Amino acid sequence: MRLRRFTEPVFESLIKISGYSTGFIVLLIVIFLFKEGISFFNLSPVDEGSSLWVHNSNPVKKLTAPQIKDIFDQKITNWKALGGNDQPISLCTLDELGEAFTEEQLGAKFERLPACIDSYIDSLPGTIGFFPDKQTANALKNAQPVQVDKVSFSKFISGTEWFPTSRPAASMGVMPLLLGTLLVSFFAILFALPLGLAAAVYLAEIADERVRRILKPVIELLAGIPSVVYGFFGLVVIVPLVQSTFNLPVGETALAGSIVLAIMALPTIITVSEDALRTTPRAMKEASLALGASQWQTIRKVVVPYAASGITAAAILGIGRAIGETMAALMVTGNSAIMPRSLLQPVRTIPATIAAELGEAPFGGLHFKALFALGCILFIITLIINFLVERVSAKRVR
Amino acid sequence: MGNKLETIDVNLYYGDFHALKGISMFISENSVTALIGPSGCGKSTYLRLFNRMNDLIPNTRIEGQVLLDGEDIYQIKPSKIDHLRRNVGMVFQKPNPFPKSIFENVAYGLRVNGITDKSFIGAQVEKTLRQAVLWEEVKDKLKKSAFELSGGQQQRLCIARALAIEPSVILMDEPASSLDPISTGKIEDLIFELKNLYTIIVVTHNMQQAGRVSDYTGFFYLGNLIEFDKTKKIFTNPSKPETENYITGRFG
Ligand SMILES: Nc1ncnc2c1ncn2[C@@H]1O[C@H](COP(=O)(O)OP(=O)(O)OP(=O)(O)O)[C@@H](O)[C@H]1O
Ligand SMILES: [Mg+2]
């Protein structure tokens, strides 16, 4: 008795402490995520410690990251296209200087490099140069640095190009990834919801008790299978199937992703909506049948409407699963970060992007932070989904 | 008056449990038959024979014949069961309206039976709500959820719902057991009214109620039909001692 008086407060405080510390850790993670994600904005897309230079006479003083990419990919070859004079663009990096000047001219320690750049640019006024600041010492006479637009939130969201490693300026538009994620998830749920609902109705209303007792645990078990296994299954079964059915060069497409994610979301959708369907009181069903309704009419007009909010919650949970899914999406969607045009194209989802690129992004760099910003977007999407689930299931408790 | 319903030596088993033991009974048209007996004696089970509600319970086995207008309802095609249930309406012990509007509750039976004529449905809803003495109370809120009604109103709504598809038989399983005396009185009056149009079987634990509303009474005990006769005879001069004991309250 006296012992209990002593142990109870101890347990109580232990529970409290673990509750608080869990909450604290979650909060820390969120803060860390957003701190890294937000610090991404207002950085320059050009490598830190390097600058772009143009001749003083060049009226183009400002470029965007996609423009720079096009220039260095030689898709844009004349300044006219950028609102400048009609003169061809020539590219100049340290490599070109190495060819144009002898080691003697450059100096043993490259101490005469700025002078060389100056004369190079002056001889070719259409030049755009890209040099480390260490070499130019920001002391060029005939050239001036190009201003590059900072990464802004609106550009990040609306940008349609994702080339985080391209140099000299990285393009980081999240649109293709966002659309890829939404496309794959939307179709996943479009496939999974009717199937899942049908299976749930079958389990709750039609299957006899013996079948149900076997099927239900099996389906619940499916929810626990690691996603890499689903991804593997998708890779060996779904991807070739998609490829041969639609006669495609590659089978890794948004469609394959949607199918695999649909399969993954099914167990959640089935179990949650089956539970909801089973809450329909027996008396309600009997009343319907006693009025001459068929079993199917009873399901359609009484059972499903009664469970509507539970079914909605199941759908939203399924969407959440699909949107956040990383491994399987990475394995079967083909991962090309282009604006999705059809289901039969490779796409890349946000989680897959983070997983694939985080390893190669230099710690703390622009790319690294961009991936955190992606994480923030994903976090916000899931937050919205959870909020919707709360709303819907709150309605259930009439 | 002919026999509307008839059971001939009906046995019903819930798995191994023998719930109805060789029940034979006649129910004549446009009469009210009360089924009485202690709890668990099989009244509800017997009542649910007539619209084949027991079919929904797994492992139920039924022997014998149940005749409606001379036809064995357990021999009809499974696809005709809906039709049978349309002809044999049921009011349950607890009010069980659908989570729909008052109007849609009454219209439900019409809609599932393929009736789409709006004006007919509207007229039928009003007619049956009037029959169930509920119209005056709900006519201004037909679009409101049925759950907003009181228990007694809900039960009368369920009666209206059963009447809307114009069955010829109405089964009532303790329709007033969860209601206050005033609502109970209304429902009893209603049963009395409906007798002219329908054949009614009502299960009740309330002896006075059985005496007031019914023409015939059947006394069940442990799955047996002990006695079945005119209500007057049962209540004044029962031929079996068990019946007398039960009616006078001297029953275990
Ligand atoms: N679904 C079922 N499965 C198994 N046994 C059942 C089932 N329904 C009823 N029984 C049994 O059958 C017997 C008769 O039940 P029934 O519901 O017909 O009784 P009742 O006379 O209506 O009782 P009450 O007055 O309490 O409603 C009871 O012993 C009951 O336990
Ligand atoms: Mg009963």
The backbone torsions φ and ψ at residue A139, rounded to the nearest 5 degrees and listed phi first, read -125, 50
Is the confidence at residue A78, as pLDDT, over 90? Answer: no
Tally of CA atoms within 13 A in the half-sphere of A274 that contains its CB: 25
User: How far is the C-alpha of A172 from the C-alpha of A178, rounded, in Å?
Assistant: 12
**Residue B208 sits at the chain A interface (C-beta within 8 Å):** no
Provide the residue type at B29 as one letter: E
Q: B8 - beta bridge partners?
A: B65
- For residue A397, name the pLDDT band (cuts at 50, 70, 90): very low
- Ligand 1 atom with the smallest distance to the CA of B57 is 1
Provide the residue type at B46 as one letter: Y
pLDDT tens-digit readout, A193-202: 999 999 999 9
User: How far is the C-alpha of B11 from the C-alpha of A240, rounded, in Å?
Assistant: 60
User: How far is the C-alpha of B103 from the C-alpha of A398, rounded, in Å?
Assistant: 21
In a domain, B88, yes or no: yes
Contact B108 A293 (CB under 8 A): yes
The domain that holds B161 is classified in CATH as: 3.40.50.300
In a domain, B181, yes or no: yes
C-alpha A366 – ligand 2 centre gap (Å): 74
Residue A360, sorted as left (phi over 0), alpha (psi -120 to 50) or beta, turns out to be: alpha
Q: What is the DSSP string of A254-312?
A: HHHHHHHHHHHHHHHHHHHHHHHHHTS-HHHHHHHHHTT--HHHHIIIIIHHHTHHHHH
C-alpha B14 – ligand 1 centre gap (Å): 9
Closest to B135 in 3D by CA, of B116, B160, B111: B160
> How confident is the model at residue A150, as a pLDDT?
82
Position with higher pLDDT, A149 vs A318: A318
Interface probe for A, chosen from B52, B93, B96, B104 (most Cβ of A below 10 Å), is B96
The token duo for A201 is: 């109705």
What is the DSSP code (8-state) at residue A88? B
Contacts of A52 (CB under 8 A, 6+ apart): A46, A63, A68, A128, A129, A130, A145, A146, A148, A168, A169
**Residue B123 sits at the chain A interface (C-beta within 8 Å):** no
Beta-sheet strand order (sheet of B17-28): B17-28, B3-14, B60-68, B71-72
* Three-state SS at B37: coil
Residues of A in contact with B165 (CB under 8 A): 291-292
Percent of chain A with pLDDT over 70: 98
User: How far is the C-alpha of B62 from the C-alpha of A241, rounded, in Å?
Assistant: 52
Does residue B120 have its Cβ closer than 6 Å to ligand 1? no
- pTM of the entire predicted model: 0.80
* Three-state SS at B21: strand
- Please give the class, per CATH, of domain A50-152: alpha beta
Is the confidence at residue B58, as pLDDT, over 90? Answer: no
Percent of chain B with pLDDT over 70: 98
Contact B98 A287 (CB under 8 A): yes
pLDDT tens-digit readout, A216-228: 999 999 988 999 9
> How confident is the model at residue B251, as a pLDDT?
62
> How confident is the model at residue B169, as a pLDDT?
95
Position with higher pLDDT, A352 vs A109: A352
- Please give the class, per CATH, of domain A175-397: mainly alpha
Is the confidence at residue A300, as pLDDT, over 90? Answer: yes
* Three-state SS at B24: strand
Interface probe for A, chosen from B112, B148, B158, B171 (most Cβ of A below 10 Å), is B112
Does residue B43 have its Cβ closer than 6 Å to ligand 1? yes
> How confident is the model at residue A1, as a pLDDT?
63
Q: A34-43, A113-122, A377-386, B123-132: lowest mean pLDDT where?
A: A113-122
Q: CB of B88 within 8 A of CB of B51?
A: yes
Mean pLDDT of chain A: 87
In a domain, B251, yes or no: no
Residues of A in contact with B158 (CB under 8 A): 287
Position with higher pLDDT, A46 vs A285: A285
C-alpha A82 – ligand 2 centre gap (Å): 87
Neighbours of B61 (CB within 10 A): 12
Is the confidence at residue B29, as pLDDT, over 70? Answer: yes
Which residue segment(s) compose the domain that B56 sits in? 3-228
Contact B94 A283 (CB under 8 A): yes
Neighbours of A291 (CB within 10 A): 28
Q: Is the dihedral of CA A256, A257, A259, A263 positive or negative?
A: positive
Does residue B59 have its Cβ closer than 6 Å to ligand 1? no
In a domain, B100, yes or no: yes
Percent of chain B with pLDDT over 90: 72
Mean pLDDT of A165-186: 89
**Residue B78 sits at the chain A interface (C-beta within 8 Å):** no
C-alpha B150 – ligand 2 centre gap (Å): 22
Neighbours of B230 (CB within 10 A): 13
> How confident is the model at residue A58, as a pLDDT?
84
In a domain, B75, yes or no: yes
Position with higher pLDDT, A199 vs A398: A199
> How confident is the model at residue B36, as a pLDDT?
94
The token duo for A365 is: 């760099």
- Please tell me the total number of residues recorded for chain A in this structure: 398
Does residue B48 have its Cβ closer than 6 Å to ligand 1? no
Q: A147-161, A178-192, B48-62, B216-230: lowest mean pLDDT where?
A: A147-161
Does residue B19 have its Cβ closer than 6 Å to ligand 1? yes
In a domain, B239, yes or no: no
> How confident is the model at residue A137, as a pLDDT?
67
Q: A92-96, A267-271, B75-79, B125-129: lowest mean pLDDT where?
A: A92-96
Mean pLDDT of B36-40: 92
pLDDT tens-digit readout, B13-25: 999 999 999 999 9
Q: B89 - beta bridge partners?
A: B170
Is the confidence at residue B67, as pLDDT, over 70? Answer: yes
Helices in chain A by DSSP H: which ranges? 2-39, 65-72, 94-100, 103-106, 113-123, 133-136, 153-158, 175-201, 209-222, 227-233, 239-246, 254-278, 282-290, 295-298, 304-306, 308-324, 327-332, 350-357, 366-396
Does residue B39 have its Cβ closer than 6 Å to ligand 1? yes
Question: What's the domain count of chain B?
Answer: 1
